[in-house]
Amino acid sequence: MPMTPGSFVRSPADARTGAPDAPRISIRNLTKTFRRAGDGGTVVPVDNVSLDVAGHEMVVLLGPSGCGKTTLLRCVAGLEVPEAGEILINDEIVFSSARGILVPPEKRQVSMVFQSYALWPHMTLFENVAYPLRARGVGGAEVQSRVMAALETVGLGALAQQYPGRISGGQQQRVALARAVVSGTGVVLFDEPLSNVDAKVREQLRLEILRMQRMLGFSALYVTHDQAEAMALADRIAVLDDGRIEQIAPPETVYDRPVSRYVGSFIGSANIWPGRVQAAADGCVAVESAVGALALDWAAAAGEGTALPAAGAALTILTRPEQITLAPARPAGGENAWPCTVETRLFLGSHTEYIARLGEERVRVWMARGARIEEGSNAWLSIAADAFRIIRDK
């Protein structure tokens, strides 16, 4: 296959099925367990996971260390053997417990980019990128043209004869990417490729990955524990908790409509309060909460078309710090406004974070730059009726 930008978009699978939008990776009810060393108990890092990655799509697996991200990725690559479920790559079944199929890693139409980039230090950039082609039995002139095209694509054609130790971290990442896409499978797995670099370089490199992914059009399953990285890169984020997908949705949805306390507090910053329904009528629900009586717009809080809750029902309410207003005086209107004391004020450049004390509760508020409210002063907190979300609390 000629190596031109976008050439990964069409795989042999597409030619076969005539379905360019067929999922590139399909994971069905996948389970992988390990026996724990020591006490002999079991861990289930992949617990009945189902997930699709579409053509050109970047799906980010996000979760804390130990939640099973690497194990899931390794199952797709063929480096771990799951107990149950099914995996398809480019429409080919590479694992099926029911059908007894297990395709070895080197025969799977996918490549992987690791945390360390895993470049061979004793090989030139050319030879590093050529490696997977040679491993697949591609030879001679074809290796030459495909490797050079891949290196040109990532802007490193002139450095083909250089060694990895002599180039920058960003350039190493590009070599790793060139090596990942040179086989033309169109499916790339990333395991925390940016976790070894410092914050400033990380931001630069993640832009670079995004630019490359847009240009080359590959599909990706990208693992990270960094929520900002997930938000920046993902078409969809799959939030993992202990081997299970807690929520899978575009970044905006995961941020604006987290389904649970876990998702809401893992992504972004959140105020979460228990409450009890006092009354519900006309789309408006009155709640007695940890911060006092409040009125919430039910369609905004629970989603359009959700039935009103019964009086007495227990709820968990989430609101983001940037949706709360802190003012020196009582705001006009008066609904959802409470007197508070400003306990802490943190100037963060783009905005100021306040911790306001409301009885026993500490509320986090982010305000754009403007009138400064001093620590220790009395102030008013207010929240619009449509700025609350109802979440699952577990």
Q: Which residues contact 88 (CB under 8 A, 6 or more apart)?
A: 23, 25, 26, 28, 94
**Whole-angstrom Cα distance, residue 83 to residue 350?**
49
**Whole-angstrom Cα distance, residue 274 to residue 290?**
6
Residue from 67, 160, 205, 212 touching ligand ADP (CB under 6 A): that is: 67
**Least distance to ligand ADP, CB of residue 350, Å:** 31
CB contact burial 357-382 (16+ within 10 A = b; e otherwise): eeeeeebbbbbeeeeebeeeeebbbb
- Selection from Mg ion, ligand ADP, none that 66 binds (CB < 5 to 8 A by kind) is ligand ADP
Does residue 34 interact with ligand ADP by CB under 6 A?
Answer: yes
**Least distance to Mg ion, CB of residue 112, Å:** 12
Q: Cα torsion at 330, 336, 339, 340 (round to 10°)? A: -130
CB-nearer residue toward Mg ion: 192 or 246: 192
- Selection from ligand ADP, Mg ion, none that 78 binds (CB < 5 to 8 A by kind) is none
Does residue 43 interact with ligand ADP by CB under 6 A?
Answer: yes
Does residue 139 interact with ligand ADP by CB under 6 A?
Answer: no
CB-nearer residue toward ligand ADP: 34 or 163: 34
**Least distance to ligand ADP, CB of residue 35, Å:** 7
Query: At residue 36, what are phi and psi to the nearest 5 degrees?
Result: -75, 135
Residue from 45, 193, 275, 321 touching ligand ADP (CB under 6 A): that is: 45
**Least distance to ligand ADP, CB of residue 225, Å:** 7
Does residue 70 interact with Mg ion by CB under 5 A?
Answer: yes
- Please name every residue paired with 353 in a beta bridge, in sequence order, or none if there are none: 346, 366
CB-nearer residue toward ligand ADP: 45 or 184: 45
**Least distance to ligand ADP, CB of residue 242, Å:** 9
CB-nearer residue toward ligand ADP: 67 or 150: 67
Of the candidates 120, 126, 167, the residue with the CA atom closest to the CA atom of residue 146: 126
Are 187 and 131 in contact, with CB atoms under 8 Å apart? Answer: no
Does residue 32 interact with ligand ADP by CB under 6 A?
Answer: no
Tokens of 73: 């990725």
Does residue 69 interact with ligand ADP by CB under 6 A?
Answer: yes
Provide the H-helix boundaries in the chain. Answer: 12-17, 69-77, 125-135, 140-153, 169-181, 199-216, 227-233, 251-256, 261-266, 298-302
Does residue 196 interact with ligand ADP by CB under 6 A?
Answer: no
Count of residues that interact with ligand ADP, criterion CB under 6 A: 11
**Whole-angstrom Cα distance, residue 137 to residue 245?**
38
Which residue has 């409509």 as its token pair? 257
Task: Kindly indicate which of the ranges 16-24, 67-75, 326-334, 381-389 contains the residues binding ligand ADP, using the contact rule CB under 6 A.
Answer: 67-75
Residue from 7, 11, 26, 70 touching ligand ADP (CB under 6 A): that is: 70
Which residue has 């893992």 as its token pair? 266
Tokens of 63: 């979760």
Classify burial at 58, counting beta carbons within 10 Å of its beta carbon; exposed 0-12, middle 13-18, buried 19 or more.
buried
CB-nearer residue toward ligand ADP: 55 or 63: 63
- Selection from Mg ion, ligand ADP, none that 85 binds (CB < 5 to 8 A by kind) is none
Tokens of 178: 């060139």
**Least distance to ligand ADP, CB of residue 314, Å:** 32
Task: Kindly indicate which of the ranges 58-66, 112-120, 195-203, 266-274 contains the residues binding ligand ADP, using the contact rule CB under 6 A.
Answer: 58-66
- Selection from ligand ADP, Mg ion, none that 131 binds (CB < 5 to 8 A by kind) is none
Tokens of 64: 């804390």
Are 60 and 233 in contact, with CB atoms under 8 Å apart? Answer: yes
**Least distance to Mg ion, CB of residue 34, Å:** 13
- Selection from Mg ion, ligand ADP, none that 193 binds (CB < 5 to 8 A by kind) is none
- The site for Mg ion (CB under 5 A) is made up of 70
- The site for ligand ADP (CB under 6 A) is made up of 34, 43, 45, 63, 65-71
